[in-house]
Structure 1
Amino acid sequence: MSPTSHSTLIYKSTLVASVGGLLFGYDTAVISGAIGFMKIYYQLSDVMTGWVASCALLGCIVGAMYSGKLSDLIGRKKVLMLSAILFVISSIGTAVAPDLWIFVIFRIIGGMGIGIASMLSPMYISEMAPAAIRGRLISIFQLGIVTGILVIYFVNAYIAGIHNETWNISMGWRWMFGSGVIPSFIFILLLLTVPESPRWLASQKRNTEALDILTQINGAEIAQQELKSIDESLRDETPFSFSDIKTPQLKRALSIGIVLAVLSQVSGINAIMYYAPEIFKSTGVGSDSAFIQTILVGIINVVFTLVAIKYVDHWGRKKLLLIGVTGMTVCLFVTGLVFYNQQQGYLLLIAILGYIACFAMSLGPLTFVVIAEIFPTKARATAMSVATFFLWLAVFLVSQTFPVLIGSVGSALTFWMYMIISVFTFFFIWKMIPETKGKTLEEIEKEWRD
C-alpha cells in the first residue's frame, strides 16, 4: 500500500471530526452577533447579559464531564453523533423560543453538544493519527473551530443587514441561532462515512477491526507494531476508575492538562470572541463597522491557525506555545493602554488582531493537542473529560464576569488582568509542559511511567 493511499482515511476522518469543531465554533460565537439585539429586546442588565451570553457553557460543562465515560462504553463515533443531534435540537429551539428561559434551556442543550465535541473530536483524531503528523491533525480540529466562528460572523453580518435595526431586535437574532441547523445536519451525514477509533476497538478486544483501520492508515507493517503497543498499554485489564488518578504519573499529567486548559481560557480569549462587536462599538465605531472588524478577527483567527498546523510537528508544541503567549501578553498590555488613554482609531483593532493571531498559533490549537496526547490509553477519555470540564468552567467564568468587570473596574484594568494571567501562563508552559512531538501515544505513556 502506498503512503498516499493509507493517508487518505486519516485525513478524511480528521476533516469529519473537525466539523465537530466547526459546530463548536459556530454555536459558541453565534451569540456575538445576537447579544446586542437580545439585550434591547429583553431589556437585560449587565449581569443578565453575561448570563444569556454564557448559559450555553453550563451545557458545555455537563457534556464534557460525561462524554468521556459514555464514549468508553459505546464508542467515540456514536457519542459524536449524539453531539450533532443536540446541535440540531438547540438550533431549532433557540430560534423559536417563546421566552427567555425557554431560550436558555435550548442554549444549554446546544452547550452539551459543544462540550462533547470539544472533548471527543480531538481525542478521536489523536487515536487515529500517525505520530509524525498527529499535532498537525489535531490542530485541524482548531481550524474547524475558527472556521465555524468566521462562518457565523459572516452569517450574523448577512442576517443583520437584511432589514433594519428594529427587525434585528425582534427577529434577526432568532435567524442567527436557527442557521445552525444546516451545519449540524451535514455533520450527522459525514459521521456515517468514517470508522470507529482503532484504540477504542482494541480496548473492546475487537482487534481484527482495529488492525484493519490501522492498516488503512499506516500500512500493514506499522499497523501490526502499533496494535501490539496498544495491546501492551491495555494489558492491565482492571477497568479505569477515578481512584487511578491518584497514581503519580496520571496525577501529574492530569494536573498539567487541567492547568493548561484553564489558563488557555482565563487569558481572555472568550471575552474578545463573544463580545468583539460590543468592544469595537465601545470605541465609537458604528454597528456595521463593528461587524466588519469582527469578521476581520475571524479571518486572522483562521490564517494563524494555519501557521500552527504548518509548524506544530516541526517546531514542537512547547516552542510554539511560548512564542504565542509572549505575543498575547504584549497585545493585552497595548489593548489596556488604548482603553486607559481613551483613544479611538486603529490601534485597538491592531492590538486585538495581534492578540487573536498569537492565540490562534499557540494556545488555541495546542491546548487540545497537548491534552489529547499526554494521557494513557486506558484513562484518556476520562482524563480528557476532566481537563475539558475545567476548560469550560474557565470559559463560563470569563464570559460571565467580563461584562461585570468592564462595568465595575473598566476596560483597561480588565485587559491588564488578562495580561498578568498570560505572564503566569508563559512560566507554567516553560517549566511544566513536556515536548511530545514525533512520539506515539504509547511512547508518551511509557515516558510518564518511567
Structure 2
Amino acid sequence: MKNYNSRYIIGISFISALGGYLFGFDFAVISGALPFLQQQFGLTAYWEGFATGSLALGAIAGCLVAGNVADRFGRKKGLLVAAALFFISSLCMAFSTNKDVFIASRFLAGIGVGMASMLSPMYIAEIAPAEVRGRMVAINQLTIVTGILVTNLVNYTLRNMGEDAWRWMFGLGIIPSGLFFIGALTLPESPRWLVNASRQEEAFKILKKIGNTSFAETTLSSIQSSTGSNVKQSYGVAFKKGVLPAVLVGIGLAVFQQFCGINVVFNYTPRIFQSIGVSQDNQLLQTVFIGIVNLTFTIVAMLLVDKLGRKPLMLIGSAGLGILYIIVVQMLAAGSTAVSWFLLSSIGVYAMSLAPVTWVLISEIFPNKVRSVATSIAIISLWAAYFILVFTFPILFDSLGDKTFYIYSAICLIGCLFVYFKVKETKGKTLEELEMVFH
C-alpha cells in the first residue's frame, strides 16, 4: 500500500466495518440468549427457529431499503441509518415483554443488519484500490467475527445473572451502536457514488486522499467511463442479458454460503451440545471457543485472499466442510464430546474461506452502474437462505438428529462444483476491469 495513503484507507475501512461488528453482535447474541428465552417465553422448536430467523426477515427488508437509500442519498447516509436502527432495536429487545414484541424487535435489528451487510462491504470495495481491495473488504468479516467473539464472551460472563440475563445480553448492543454512528459521521462519501451523482470534483478530492494525483485522475476517468448516465436503476435491470451472468453467480454464492450449514453451529451451539448431555455452562463455553477459532482463521483469510486468490479459498472451504460434516455425524451419533474438535475445525475452514470470500466476491463482481441493485439482490438471497437454514434446523434436528449434517455435506459438494465451473478469479483487477470478467 506504499503508493496509497494506507492509514487513511485502513481507518475509513475499519469505521465502515463497525457495521459488521453489529452484524456479528445481533447474529451471535441469540445463541447465548436462547436457553433463557425458551424458559421466559416457552418457545417450541417452531418459535425457536422463527425467533432466530426473524433477524433474516428483517435483513431482507433492510437490503431493499439500503439499495434505495444508497442510490438516492449515498453510502454514508445508509450506514448512519443502519447504526440508528441497531441502537433502537437493542433497547427494544432488552425490554421485550413477550415473544411477539421480542420477534418484532429482532426484525427491526435485522433491518439494520441487512443494511450494514450490504453497505459496509460495498462502501469499502468502492473506496479501496484494487491491489488491496480483498484485504480491506475482509476487514468487514474481521469485525463480524470480532463481534461474534465479544458477544459470546459477554453472554458467557452474564450467564449466572438470573432469568433476566438475556436482557443485558441484548441491551449492551447500544454501546457499539453508538460508536458506529459517531464513526460513520466522519466518513467521506464513496467517490463512485459521487461520480454517479455528477459530483466529480468531490470525488476527485477523496481519490486524492486515497492515493496521489495520478491515481485520482486515472481512477476518476475509469469510473466515469463505466458509470454512464445518472439514471436510477430498477431491479429489472439486473436481469438484463449483459448483467445476468454476474447476478446469477452472486446469488449462487450467497445462497451457498448459508446452505453450507455452518450457521446452525453458530446459532444453535447449546442445542447441538445439549443433545449429547453437555451442561448449560459448557454449552455457552463452546460458543466462546467457536468465536476464538472464527476470529483466528478470519485473520488467516485476510492474509491469503489477495495472494492465493478468491477461487482457491472457496474450493478449499466447500470441500473441507463437506468432509468434516460426515465426521461430525459419526461423533454425534456416538455421543462423543470429541465432536467439539470437528465442529471447531468446520468453523475454522469456513472462516478462512466461504465466510469472508463470499462477501469479497459479491462486492466485486457487479458493474458500477447496477452495483447497488445487483448487490441488494444477492444479499437478499443470502438472508432468505439464512432464514430457511435457521428456521428449519430445530425441526430437522428434532426429526433427523445428527443425520441433519449429511444434508449440509451434500450441499457443500454441489457448492464446490458450482465454484469450480462458474466462479472466476477476481484478485488484482479493478472494479471496472471486472465488468468484462463475468459477462
TM (normalized to structure 2)? 0.98
Q: Does 1:204 align with 2:194?
A: no
SS at match of 1:379: helix
Counterpart Cα distance in 1 of 2:357 and 2:242: 21
Task: Describe how 1:166-315 pairs up with structure 2 within 5 A.
Answer: 167=162, 170-315=163-308
8 A Cα contact 1:62 1:112, kept in partner: yes
| Alpha-carbon shift at residue 44 of structure 1 (Å) | 1.6
Q: Does 1:351 align with 2:350?
A: no
- One-letter identity of the residue aligned with 1:323: I
| Alpha-carbon shift at residue 345 of structure 1 (Å) | 2.3
CA RMSD in angstroms, aligned pairs only: 1.3
Task: Describe how 1:37-52 pairs up with structure 2 within 5 A.
Answer: 37-52=36-51
SS at match of 1:442: coil
Counterpart Cα distance in 1 of 2:362 and 2:81: 22
Aligned to 1:441: 431
Aligned to 2:2: 3
| Alpha-carbon shift at residue 40 of structure 1 (Å) | 1.5
| Alpha-carbon shift at residue 285 of structure 1 (Å) | 1.7
8 A Cα contact 2:60 2:114, kept in partner: yes
SS at match of 1:313: coil
8 A Cα contact 1:12 1:194, kept in partner: no
Aligned to 1:328: 321
Counterpart Cα distance in 1 of 2:95 and 2:205: 46
Q: Deviations over 1:251-281 (max 9, x none)?
A: 0000000011001001112111101122122
Counterpart Cα distance in 1 of 2:226 and 2:141: 28
SS at match of 2:336: coil
SS at match of 2:406: helix
- One-letter identity of the residue aligned with 1:288: D
The counterpart of 2:363, out of the listed 372, 375, 399, is 372
Structure 1 residues without counterparts, runs of 5 or longer: none
How many percent of aligned residue pairs carry the same amino acid? 41
Aligned to 1:120: 119
| Alpha-carbon shift at residue 4 of structure 1 (Å) | 7.0
Q: Which moved more, 1:400-409 or 1:65-74?
A: 65-74
Counterpart Cα distance in 1 of 2:408 and 2:437: 34
Structure 2 residues without counterparts, runs of 5 or longer: none
- One-letter identity of the residue aligned with 1:441: L
Aligned to 1:424: 414
8 A Cα contact 2:41 2:98, kept in partner: no
| Alpha-carbon shift at residue 191 of structure 1 (Å) | 0.7
Counterpart Cα distance in 1 of 2:275 and 2:189: 48
| Alpha-carbon shift at residue 323 of structure 1 (Å) | 1.2
Aligned to 2:95: 96
Q: Deviations over 1:226-253 (max 9, x none)?
A: 1000000023454423332233231000
Q: Deviations over 1:277-331 (max 9, x none)?
A: 2212222221112222210100000000011100100011001111122211111
SS at match of 1:441: coil
The number of aligned residues is 439
- One-letter identity of the residue aligned with 1:144: T
Counterpart Cα distance in 1 of 2:354 and 2:188: 29
Aligned to 2:404: 414
Counterpart Cα distance in 1 of 2:411 and 2:284: 28
Q: Deviations over 1:36-84 (max 9, x none)?
A: 1111121221111111122121101100122112210000000111001
Aligned to 2:80: 81
Counterpart Cα distance in 2 of 1:242 and 1:81: 24
Counterpart Cα distance in 2 of 1:383 and 1:86: 23
Q: Which moved more, 1:67-76 or 1:98-107?
A: 98-107
Aligned to 2:66: 67
Task: Describe how 1:23-42 pairs up with structure 2 within 5 A.
Answer: 23-42=22-41
Counterpart Cα distance in 2 of 1:290 and 1:160: 11
SS at match of 2:102: helix
Counterpart Cα distance in 1 of 2:4 and 2:424: 33
